[in-house]
Amino acid sequence: MRIIKTLFVFVVVMVLGLAVTISVFGQSDAPVSRAGFVSMLFETAGEPAVNNAAPFVDVPAGASYSGAVSWAAQYNIVTGVGGGIFSPENAVTREQAAVMMLNYARYQGSGPVGAWAVRLDYADLTDISEWAFQGVMYAKIHGLLPEKQGNLFDPKGNMTRAEAEAALEKLSEATAPSALAEKAFTYFLEVSKVPRVSGNMQGISDFFKAFGEERSLETIQDEWLNILIKKPGSPGRENEPPVILQAHMDMVGEKNQGTPHDFLKDPIIPIIDGDWVTANGTTLGADNGAGLAMIMAILDSDSLSHPPIEALLTADEETTMIGALEFDVSLLTGRRLINLDNMEEGHFVVSCASTNRVELHIPIETMPLPDGFTTYELSIKGLNGGHSGVDIHKGLANANILMERLLGEFGNIPLFVSSIDGGSAHNAIPRECTAVLSIDNLDLNAVRAIIEQTEILFKSEFPLDVNLTVNFAEIQAAQYVMTVASFKKVSEGITRMPNGVLSMSPDIEGLVQTSNNLGVIATGGDTVMLVGFVRSSSLEERSQTLEAITALAYDLGARLEVAAGNLPWPYRADSPLRDTMVELFTQTFNREPVIVAIHAGLECAAFAHNMPDCDMIAIGPDIRREHTPDERMSLSSFYRTTDFVVRVLQTL
């Protein structure tokens, strides 16, 4: 619809996003190129990760500005000049820059949406291009591009570097995070102080119990250490249907070898590095500390407009999901649930897989180490690891599987194995594995040659694991070793245990349907334990996988334990909550969210089983490398997601 160039009245603009200080060098009166201005916007955004190529034929992949242009195109900040052309070297005009800044503000969640307008009375009003009118209005609102002498906007004039620097400084102020989003990050820092690795729930549960009670909110702590905090609706909204905000309290405890961190008593110290928040050699706990912090800020707000809120904080999601599975849903009156445990902004999860944790306890016999053998520690380290659901299809190496393959390469060389230990969590792809073995020193050179050749082979097979290393060092002589027959059983167990992607979905392109992750190998006493995590969106295939593991246990004379799992979360065609949030997201960020089903397990599956009439969706900020010590969270995405949740509550 044509915008009438006359008197407009501005309705509303919300101020959200992230403030960043920029530093750009060059002559102040020199024109800025289109690529240069996009690069400045990219720097203002904190140079977020870029995963796609620029869609313009005149933006070469190796150009210094290609990443910035790719980012801007991905988020609809730029669309080019037509015909797949971006014209990177052309000077950016004032009206082009105004449109880019409006789109940037929408990317940050603060650009005006819906019915809005502002009065423009420039003498050259008719020279403004039709497509640029909203951008010029936004620039007028925030004083981004002051008028020139003679009451001119000069829409076709080139933007100078001085103008660009001044405009972006004001744009940063206009898109600064809301007070509630900043408070949420403060609460993220508070949550990080409380040790909360899975299985160690008492402290964090008591923390949230006190949090609710200190604010005189109805607070329930159940026998599973789940916490339910109920907050009445804001004035005038007390009688609306409640909304359930849900997150889990526990985190995966993974750390780099040599990192002196005790997850049972030491706090996590978040480190801000540009736009990313990380930890020092350990998992960060943004999964799901980000969701916890958002909920805390909302519960603590006295000014937010919202319906009644039921904040459900669950225990031990990362291991058994026992908190969600055993929670008494009769305590909930809401039938709209927003889960805050997703890890990709703009992706709305609406379905997930079932899960089962399995333990295979293989009995072993030991004997004294024979004379003439020297003991060595063989270790595989430096792998990326990752989430056993989200990352299982990415071609990442599993250290436990590689260790079994390496030991198999020794062929007929006599050796005795004392132990194999790898991985630390069933739902994390193992990054390290260590075996203690003893060999005759006459075979030492042959063993070293095999290790060297196999390391080269592994690196070529798994190019994503760039830091993969195989270490071999003499240690104190072992007293006892596995018998040859026992080690043969252990080797067979590792080899035959289903691992990795087992099938792909026939209905959803690119979605893993069934997988298993051999996450842990642990030697202790008279057993070697293999721990797997089966995921499937097909109940039939899940049963088939568990049957295969059961048959393996029978053949090995092993004891099998299968933890109670959850059913899959089926897709719901009729979802008013999803429809509302999709519309609001599109209006807010000027792009549509991606509706996805995931191979990971979410607590929504348990709630879908126990509350089949509940309308649910899962969202969250950008979190990368979760379940590894390289876990990091985008701070600007955290702010945007927090403020989006606020908008949802205001709108519902």
**Model confidence pLDDT, tens digit, residues 600-640:** 778 999 999 899 999 999 999 999 989 889 999 999 899 99
Place of tokens 């500390």: 289
Q: Give the position of tokens 């040599």.
A: 258
What's residue 18's pLDDT?
31
Q: What are 231's strand-pairing partners? A: 309
- Summarize pLDDT for 108-164 with one digit per residue, the tens: 877 776 656 677 889 999 999 999 998 998 898 888 998 999 999 999 999 999 999
Q: Does residue 22 surpass a pLDDT of 60?
A: no
Query: What residue has token string 């600064």?
Result: 176
Q: Per-residue pLDDT for 11 more than 50?
A: no
What is the pLDDT confidence band of residue 201, given thresholds at 50, 70 and 90? very high
Structure tokens at 334: 């809401």
- Active site residue: 95, 317, 345, 465, which one? 317
User: Using one digit for the tens of pLDDT, what is the confidence trace for 553-581?
Assistant: 999 999 999 986 778 888 888 999 999 99
Asked whether the predicted pLDDT for residue 7 surpasses 50, the reply is no
Please compute the mean of the pLDDT values over residues 49-56 and round it to a whole number.
84
For residue 202, the model assigns a pLDDT of 98
Judge whether 631 counts as a catalytic residue: no
Own/partner contacts of 568-571, CB < 8 Å, gap of 24 or more, are 568/351, 568/352, 568/353, 568/354, 568/536, 568/537, 568/539, 568/605, 569/351, 569/352, 569/602, 569/604, 569/605, 569/608, 569/616, 570/351, 570/608, 571/350, 571/351, 571/597
State what percent of residues in the chain have pLDDT above 70: 95
Whether 317 sits among the annotated catalytic residues: the reply is yes
Report the pLDDT value the prediction gives residue 115, as an integer from 0 to 100. 57
For 562-619, the DSSP string reads E---B--B---S--HHHHHHHHHHHHHHSSPPEEEEESS--THHHHHHH-TT-EEEE-
pLDDT at 16: 29
Identify the pLDDT of residue 20.
30
Catalytic residue among 95, 163, 250, 341: 250
Supply the pLDDT for residue 563.
83
Give me the pLDDT at residue 597, please. Answer: 85
Section 643-651 average pLDDT: 94
Instruction: Say how far apart CA 2 and CA 129 lie, in whole Å.
Output: 11
Decide if pLDDT at 9 tops 60.
no
Q: Is 127 helix (H, G, I), strand (E, B) or coil?
A: helix
**Mode of pairing for the β-strands spanning 276-278 and 271-273:** antiparallel
Report the interhelical angle of 444-461 vs 399-408 (nearest 10°). 140
Strands 559-562 and 527-536: unpaired
Of 484, 500, 503, 527, nearest in space to 359 by CA: 527
What CA–CA distance (Å, rounded) separates 487 from 212? 53
Q: What is the DSSP letter of 443?
A: G
Q: What is the pLDDT of residue 387?
A: 85
Per residue in 234-275, pLDDT tens? 999 999 999 999 999 999 999 988 899 999 999 999 998 878
On average, the pLDDT of the chain sits at 90
The residues near 160 (Cβ < 8 Å, ≥ 6 apart) are 28, 29, 30, 31, 32
